[in-house]
């Protein structure tokens, strides 16, 4: 660990660097926490509580009633004492202390009072702006459908998360087709299918994919509804459980005929065919019109019954690298949940100019992993091919907590490089600035040649 005085000085200067949060799930209808449940029962913390013995492992409803929130909090609180050691719970404490002036340890005697206290601050735009200003977050990207009527457009950018052609789902080998059917049955892009989708409950669609003609019709519908004037990226998951390779139309026809009994081979055909068609169309549209969006892939968080675990086949890295090279005119961003794969991805990023490594996603979001990833990227990858900040948060409170932790760790990484003689002080601050201060012009549609 570097000298504490140096770290603190760096942290102060790094804290003043403005941020754009490039990937969240902030919702314009409740940008800030609606109560203790939005802070303590953030899905990453739910996993810790579930692992500690809490009977509930599933996420809360998108818009839980007060009854559901109280029920889930009541069942979770007895297990808080078992996760006080974790860095995510440290973030919970930071959020409660610095945003709500709450420094009591949560237990059965006080959690209801804490819940009411948080509710008293409100969850709307004014409260979120206050928190964002405190964290120096200038804007945040979220899913397009969460913007609603545009009331919060001055605080939000948008990403299209609609169909995840390469996401595996627990026990569903036709998941890529379900994803496409989901979008085919909507004229306005809405929420994506959830993790842990149940077809009988979630996929009762009027239009079903049965033939290759249906596939093409659904894909054309999807491509035609990409709103270039509203989104800067297309975000989806890239499962390592899928084998990525070239497939033919004949392969797809054969796989469709066996959809009812689809296995891994059919699943892989579906994913490869749909993903390649989409990327090819994005490339063609860029050449013909100049319209483009960044292709964002999250990797290495694979399905378990409620959430996911960190899981990455080494082969997937170069299979995706081949796709990125094939579509060298498109821009790709990688959100990764496997720390041990970071060094391999750094080598890919050095050789493929159209890919960028982004932040610290899901199972990487713990101080030791964050710092290791930061250090490897600072030493191996140019600053303009890495993005140092996104939170994947569902309320601005968690954006704040994650900003605090990330900037703290950048200060530690920079201090270590100053002490070893790699950077002087000014260079260290500038390196961090280049990594985390996103190019704001990219989000200005008037400067991107977008044809509205």
pLDDT score at 197: 81
Question: What pLDDT, in 10s, does the model give residues 122-157?
Answer: 999 999 999 999 999 999 999 999 999 999 999 999
Rounded average pLDDT over 404-411: 97
Average pLDDT, rounded, for the chain: 94
Contact 223, 163 (CB under 8 A): no
Is 28 among the domain residues?
no
Q: Answer yes or no: do 305 and 408 share one domain.
A: yes
Say if residue 79's pLDDT is above 80. Answer: yes
Rounded average pLDDT over 35-55: 97
Q: Answer yes or no: do 210 and 262 share one domain.
A: yes
Instruction: Out of 97, 121, 145, pick the residue that ends a domain.
Output: 121
What φ, ψ does residue 96 adopt, rounded to 5°? -65, -40
Instruction: Out of 76, 93, 121, pick the residue that ends a domain.
Output: 121
Q: Give the global pTM.
A: 0.94
Question: What pLDDT, in 10s, does the model give residues 99-118?
Answer: 999 999 999 999 999 999 99
Q: Answer yes or no: do 90 and 149 share one domain.
A: no
Say if residue 88's pLDDT is above 90. Answer: yes
Is 6 among the domain residues?
no
pLDDT score at 444: 59
Sequence-separated (6 or more) residues with CB below 8 Å from residue 427: none
Rounded to whole angstroms, the Cα distance separating 346 from 376 reads: 8
Question: What pLDDT, in 10s, does the model give residues 345-369?
Answer: 999 999 999 999 999 999 999 999 9
Give the CATH number, domain containing residue 292.
Answer: 3.20.20.140
Q: Answer yes or no: do 117 and 141 share one domain.
A: no
Q: Answer yes or no: do 114 and 137 share one domain.
A: no
Cβ atoms < 10 Å from Cβ of 287: 11
Question: What pLDDT, in 10s, does the model give residues 207-257?
Answer: 999 999 999 999 999 999 999 999 999 999 999 999 999 999 999 999 999
Is 270 among the domain residues?
yes
Q: At 452, is the pLDDT very low, low, confident or very high (cuts 50, 70, 90)? A: very low
Is 10 among the domain residues?
no
Rounded to whole angstroms, the Cα distance separating 37 from 210 reads: 42
Say if residue 445's pLDDT is above 80. Answer: no
Residue with tokens 């600035």: 433
Question: What pLDDT, in 10s, does the model give residues 167-200?
Answer: 998 889 999 999 999 999 999 999 999 887 888 8
- Cα distances from 141 to residues 203, 233, 237, 387, 396, in angstroms, run 27, 9, 17, 14, 12
Contact 370, 412 (CB under 8 A): no
Q: At 446, is the pLDDT very low, low, confident or very high (cuts 50, 70, 90)? A: low
pLDDT score at 433: 96
Is 68 among the domain residues?
yes
Rounded average pLDDT over 435-449: 62
Q: Answer yes or no: do 419 and 379 share one domain.
A: yes
Q: At 447, is the pLDDT very low, low, confident or very high (cuts 50, 70, 90)? A: low
pLDDT score at 418: 97
Say if residue 275's pLDDT is above 60. Answer: yes
Is 15 among the domain residues?
no
Q: Answer yes or no: do 214 and 352 share one domain.
A: yes
Identify the CA nearest to 69 among candidates 57, 59, 81, 60: 60
Rounded to whole angstroms, the Cα distance separating 389 from 359 reads: 5
**Helix crossing, 212-224 with 249-257: angle to 10°?**
110
Q: Answer yes or no: do 410 and 267 share one domain.
A: yes
Q: What 8-state DSSP symbol labels residue 299? A: E
Q: Answer yes or no: do 224 and 321 share one domain.
A: yes
- The total domain count for the chain is 2
Instruction: Out of 121, 142, 157, pick the residue that ends a domain.
Output: 121
Q: Answer yes or no: do 237 and 372 share one domain.
A: yes
Is 282 among the domain residues?
yes
Rounded average pLDDT over 71-83: 98
Q: Answer yes or no: do 364 and 406 share one domain.
A: yes
pLDDT score at 22: 92
Q: Answer yes or no: do 370 and 406 share one domain.
A: yes
pLDDT score at 269: 98
Is 56 among the domain residues?
yes
Give the CATH number, domain containing residue 97.
Answer: 1.10.2020.10
Question: What pLDDT, in 10s, does the model give residues 8-17?
Answer: 999 999 999 9
Range of the domain at 148: 129-447
Say if residue 438's pLDDT is above 70. Answer: no
């Amino acid at each position: 660990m570097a000298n504490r005085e140096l770290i603190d000085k760096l942290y102060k200067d790094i804290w003043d660097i403005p941020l754009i949060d490039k990937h969240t799930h902030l919702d314009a209808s409740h940008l800030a926490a609606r109560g203790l449940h939005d802070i303590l029962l953030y899905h990453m913390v739910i996993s810790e509580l579930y692992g500690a013995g809490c009977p509930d492992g599933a996420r809360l409803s998108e818009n839980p009633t007060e009854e559901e929130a109280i029920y889930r909090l009541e069942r979770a609180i007895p297990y808080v004492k078992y996760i006080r050691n974790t860095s995510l719970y440290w973030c919970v404490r930071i959020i409660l202390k610095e945003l709500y002036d709450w420094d009591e340890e949560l237990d059965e005697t006080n959690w209801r009072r804490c819940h009411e206290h948080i509710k008293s601050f409100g969850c709307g735009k004014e409260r979120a702006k206050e928190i964002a200003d405190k964290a120096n977050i200038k804007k945040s990207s979220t899913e397009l459908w969460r913007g609603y009527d545009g009331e919060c457009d001055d605080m939000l950018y948008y990403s299209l998360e609609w169909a995840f052609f390469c996401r595996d789902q627990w026990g569903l080998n036709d998941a890529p087709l379900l994803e496409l059917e989901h979008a085919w049955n909507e004229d306005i892009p809405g929420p994506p299918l959830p993790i842990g989708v149940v077809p009988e409950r979630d996929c009762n669609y009027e239009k079903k994919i049965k033939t290759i003609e249906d596939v093409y019709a659904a894909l054309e519908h999807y491509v035609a509804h990409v709103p270039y004037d509203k989104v800067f990226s297309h975000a989806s998951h890239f499962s390592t459980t899928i084998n990525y390779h070239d497939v033919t139309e004949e392969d797809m026809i054969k796989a469709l005929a066996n959809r009812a009994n689809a296995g891994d081979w059919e699943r892989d055909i579906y994913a490869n065919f749909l993903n390649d068609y989409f990327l090819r169309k994005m490339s063609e549209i860029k050449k013909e019109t100049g319209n483009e969006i960044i292709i964002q892939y999250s990797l290495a968080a694979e399905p378990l019954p409620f959430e996911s675990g960190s899981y990455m086949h080494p082969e997937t890295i170069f299979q995706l690298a081949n796709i990125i090279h094939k579509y060298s005119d498109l821009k790709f961003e990688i959100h990764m949940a496997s720390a041990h794969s970071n060094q391999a991805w750094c080598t890919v990023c050095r050789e493929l100019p159209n890919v960028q490594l982004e932040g610290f996603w899901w199972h990487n979001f713990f101080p030791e992993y964050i710092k290791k990833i930061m250090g490897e990227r600072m030493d191996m990858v140019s600053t303009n091919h890495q993005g140092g900040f996104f939170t994947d948060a569902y309320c601005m409170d968690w954006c704040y907590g994650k900003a605090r932790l990330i900037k703290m760790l950048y200060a530690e990484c920079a201090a270590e490089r100053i002490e070893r003689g790699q950077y002087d002080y000014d260079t260290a601050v500038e390196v961090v600035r280049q990594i985390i201060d996103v190019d704001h012009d990219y989000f200005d549609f008037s400067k991107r040649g977008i044809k509205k």
